[in-house]
Amino acid sequence: MRFLHLVLANLGRHKLRTLLTTASVALALFLFASLRTVVTTLDAAARFGSARRLVSTNATGIVFPLPLSYANKLRAVPGVEAVTWANWFGGRYGDNKRFFAQFAVDPQSYLEMYPEISLPEDQKQAFFRERSSAIIGRRLVDVFGWRLGQNVTIRGTIFPGDWTFTIRGIYTPTDAVINDDMLLFRHDYLEERVGRPGIAGWYVFRIDDANHAAQIARTVDGQFKNSSAATKTGTEQAFNASFATMWGNVSLLMGTIGLAVVFAILLVTANAMMMSARERTGEVAVLKAIGFSDRIVFGLVMLEAAAIALTGALLGLGGAKFLYKATNFNAAGFLPGFDVTTSTLLLGATVALLLMLASGLVPAIRAARLPVVQALRRVE
Amino acid sequence: MALVEIREVDKTFQRGSERIDVFIGLTLDIAEGSFTALMGPSGSGKPTLLNLVAGLDRPTRGSVRVAGAEVSAMRPNQLAPWRARHIGFVFQQLNLLPVLTAYQNVELPLLLTRLSRKERDERIRLALGVVGLEDRLSHYPRQLSGGQEQRVAIARAIVADPTLVLLDEPTGQLDARSSGDVLQLLGRLNQEFKKAIIIVTHDAHAADAARTVLHLDKGRLIERQGAAV
C-alpha cells in the first residue's frame, strides 16, 4: 500500500493515454460480455422446454408449412395426448423500431398445451370467443402502452395487408420457455383472411411419457415420410435450439469476434504499457540506484497494468451487467432474458487478468532486469 | 579502517570486439567522514568508480569493500537492500521523478524501510529543512529551479541516513550561484552531520569544497590532494 501513490502518480503521468487505454480495455470487456451473453442467452433458450412436448416441422425447412389436416393424424398416434399448431406471422407494427414476435395459434389447444402462459380466465374466454382478438405479453404493455380492448394494427409481410386485432388478454409467463413479448392471435382468423389454405407452421404435441419421445417422433415422421410434406419431429428443446442456430453457428461466430476484439485490445494495451515503461527507463534506473529491488520494480509495473485492467474490467463488465439490466435489453425480442451471467462476469474477469499479465509482464520484466549503469549512461 | 577500501580492482568493458580497460589494479582508500572529490579527464573512470562503490557495477577483478561489507561479492538481491541502507545517490540529471512532489521524491528511500508514516514524515521534513526547502514540500520538480531540484535530490540522498553519499557531477547543470549553494550544503552535511561524501566532478570549485581530491587518469590514481586516510 505504501507504493500506491507511486503507481497512481505514474498512471497520471499521461492522463489521456491512461484514460484511452483504460477505455479500450473497458470497451473490449463490454463487447466480450455482450457477445458472450448472446451465446449464453441462446444456449439458455435452447435448454428451455418440456421433455413431454414434441414439435413437428416441415422436413424441408421451418419456413415451409405443413397441412392443417395433419392435426387429426397426429392425435391418432399412440402416446400423443394433445395437439396444437401455430404459424409465424412476421408482421410489423408502427415504424418497426421495436420488433416483437406474432404467432397465429389455435386458441384452446395452444393455451392448454402451454400452461406456462398465465392468463385470467375471463380474458381467456374473451380470446376464445372473438375471432379477431389477440393476447399479448406483459412486456408489450410496458413498451407500447397497450391496454385491454385496444385495437392494434399490424402490417403483414408474409401475409400482406393491415391486420387489426383487439387486445383481449395480457398474459404473464410462468416459465422462461415463454417470451413475455409475443402477440398471439387466432389461427382461424389467419385462415379466414388468406382464403383457407389449410396450413400450419408447425405442430406441437404432448406425449404421455418423455421416455417415449424418440419412438413417437419416429412414428410421426414415418407416417408422413412419403407425403408431399414430410415432417421432422424433435423435442421442444431441439426446436428452440434450431431457432437459436438459424443464423448459423452463432456461438462460434460470437466467440471468435469476442476473442479477436480482446486480442486487438491486448495489443493496444501492451503497446501503451511498453511505451510508458520505455519512457521511464532513466527513472527506473534512479529508483534502483536508491535501493528499489528488481522485485519491487517488477511489482510496480505490474500494479500499473493491474490498475488499468481492473478499472477497465469494472467499467466494461459492470457496465454491461448494469446497462442490460437497467434497459431490460432483449435485442428487440430475439434474445429474451438477455442478462450477463455470473459465469460471463467471471470469464471476463479472467480475461482482464490475462490482459493484465500479457500487457504488464514484458515491460515489468524489462524494468526489473534493467541494468542500472547502462540505463543511466544511455540516458545521459 | 577506511570506509571505502578498493583493492587491486580491474574493470574492463567490451565494446564490440574492442576491449576497454577502465581500471587496472586500482587500489585506494576513502576515510570515514571524509569529503572526497574524484577528478580527471573524460574516460578516466570517475563515474565507473562511483558505480563500483555503490554496487551498481561489479569489478572484473579485485574487491570493493564499503563499511566492512564486500560489495563486489554481493548477489543482486542483496545489493538493493544494502544500497537502500548505506548509499545515498545524487545524479547529474534525471534525479527526481517528475510525477512526484519534492516531499514524495524525498520519501522514496523511506518506502523501503519499516518506518511508520509519522516517522517518515518527520524524516522528510527534517531532510528538506537541512537543504533549506521546507517551504517547497508540495512543489513538483518542474516548479523548482535547477539548484532546488539538486537540493531535493540531496535531501533524498540523506533522508535514510546512509553511510555514504555519492554525487555524480552534482553541479554540472547548475549556474554559479546554485552551484555555490549546493557545494555549501555538501560542506555542511560533511562537517555538521558527519556524512562521508564522494563527488565526481569536472568543476574546480566543487573540488575546492572537498577536503580530499583524487585525480584519476586512464584508470589510475595519479595524485591525491588534501587529507590522507
Q: Which residues of chain A neighbour B157 with C-beta distances below 8 Å?
A: 290
Minimum distance, in Å, between the CA of residue A141 and any CA atom of chain B: 57
Residues counted in chain B: 229
- How many separate helices (H) and strands (E) can be counted in chain A? 14, 12
| Contact criterion met (CB < 8 Å) for B111 and A2 | yes
When CB atoms are compared, the residue of B54, B85, B99 closest to A10 is: B99
When CB atoms are compared, the residue of A5, A13, A293 closest to B77 is: A293
Helix, strand, or coil (residue A135): strand
The C-alpha atoms of residue A31 and residue A340 are separated, in whole angstroms, by 11
Q: Which residues of A touch B (CB under 8 A)?
A: 2-3, 5-6, 9-10, 12-13, 282-283, 285-296, 372-373, 376, 379-380
Q: Is the predicted pLDDT of residue A380 greater than 50, yes or no?
A: no
Q: Where do the DSSP E strands lie in chain A? A: 53-58, 66-67, 80-88, 101-105, 117-118, 133-137, 151-156, 161-173, 182-186, 199-200, 202-207, 231-235
Q: Which residues of chain A neighbour B93 with C-beta distances below 8 Å?
A: 380
Write the secondary structure of B25-60 as one string of H (helix), E (strand) and C (coil). EEEEEECCCCEEEEECCCCCCHHHHHHHHHCCCCCC
| Contact criterion met (CB < 8 Å) for A286 and B91 | yes
Q: Which residues of B touch A (CB under 8 A)?
A: 51, 54, 56-57, 76-77, 80-81, 83-85, 87-89, 91-95, 97-100, 104, 108-109, 111-112, 156-157
pLDDT of residue A270: 79
Minimum distance, in Å, between the CA of residue A379 and any CA atom of chain B: 9
Q: What is the largest CA-CA distance in chain B?
A: 54
Mean local confidence (pLDDT), A51-77: 91
Q: Is the predicted pLDDT of residue A237 greater than 60, yes or no?
A: yes
| Contact criterion met (CB < 8 Å) for A291 and B57 | no
Q: Is the predicted pLDDT of residue A243 greater than 70, yes or no?
A: no
The model's confidence at residue A38, banded by pLDDT at 50, 70 and 90, is confident
Residue in the structure block whose three cell numbers are 463487447: A31
The model carries a pTM of 0.71
- Mean pLDDT, chain A, rounded, equals 87
When CB atoms are compared, the residue of A5, A289, A294 closest to B54 is: A289
ipTM of the prediction:
0.86
pLDDT of residue A379: 47
Minimum distance, in Å, between the CA of residue B151 and any CA atom of chain A: 16
Q: Is the predicted pLDDT of residue A54 greater than 80, yes or no?
A: yes
pLDDT of residue B22: 87
Q: Is the predicted pLDDT of residue A245 greater than 70, yes or no?
A: no
Mean local confidence (pLDDT), B183-199: 88
pLDDT of residue A149: 95
The C-alpha atoms of residue B144 and residue A197 are separated, in whole angstroms, by 90
Q: Which residue has the higher pLDDT, A85 or A211?
A: A85
Helix, strand, or coil (residue A341): coil
Helix, strand, or coil (residue A209): coil
pLDDT of residue A247: 54
Eight-class DSSP state of A149: T
Query: Would you state the cell numbers that stand for residue B90, as one nine-digit string?
Result: 545524487
| Contact criterion met (CB < 8 Å) for A290 and B92 | no
Write out pLDDT tens, residues B63-99: 999 998 999 899 888 998 999 999 998 887 767 999 9
Q: Is the predicted pLDDT of residue A222 greater than 70, yes or no?
A: yes
Nearest CA in chain B to A297: B80
Mean local confidence (pLDDT), A117-128: 95
Neighbours of B86 (CB within 10 A): 19
What percent of chain A has a predicted confidence (pLDDT) above 70? 92
When CB atoms are compared, the residue of A12, A283, A373 closest to B51 is: A373
What percent of chain B has a predicted confidence (pLDDT) above 90? 43
Mean local confidence (pLDDT), A8-34: 89
Residue in the structure block whose three cell numbers are 545524479: B91
Nearest CA in chain A to B78: A293
Most confident of A18-22, A39-43, A118-122: A118-122
Q: Is the predicted pLDDT of residue A246 greater than 70, yes or no?
A: no
The model's confidence at residue B9, banded by pLDDT at 50, 70 and 90, is very high
Q: Is the predicted pLDDT of residue B17 greater than 50, yes or no?
A: yes
Mean local confidence (pLDDT), A247-270: 76
Query: For the purposes of burial, counting CB atoms within 10 Å of the CB of A140, is it exposed (0-12), middle (13-18) or buried (19 or more)?
Result: buried
Neighbours of B54 (CB within 10 A): 26
Q: Is the predicted pLDDT of residue B228 greater than 50, yes or no?
A: no
Lowest mean pLDDT among A62-76, A104-118, A191-205, A276-290: A276-290
What percent of chain A has a predicted confidence (pLDDT) above 90? 46
pLDDT of residue B121: 95
| Contact criterion met (CB < 8 Å) for B98 and A13 | yes
Q: Is the predicted pLDDT of residue B229 greater than 50, yes or no?
A: no
pLDDT of residue A191: 94
Q: Is the predicted pLDDT of residue A161 greater than 80, yes or no?
A: yes
pLDDT of residue A90: 87
Cβ–Cβ < 8 Å for A227, A60: no
Nearest CA in chain B to A291: B84
The model's confidence at residue A233, banded by pLDDT at 50, 70 and 90, is very high
Helix, strand, or coil (residue A245): coil
Nearest CA in chain A to B165: A290
| Contact criterion met (CB < 8 Å) for A292 and B112 | yes
Cβ–Cβ < 8 Å for A185, A126: no
Q: Which residues of chain B neighbour A283 with C-beta distances below 8 Å?
A: 94, 97
Q: Which residues of A185-223 are buried (b: 16+ CB within 10 A; e: fewer)?
A: bbbebbbeebeeeebbbbbbbbbeeeebbeebbeebbeb
The model's confidence at residue A358, banded by pLDDT at 50, 70 and 90, is confident
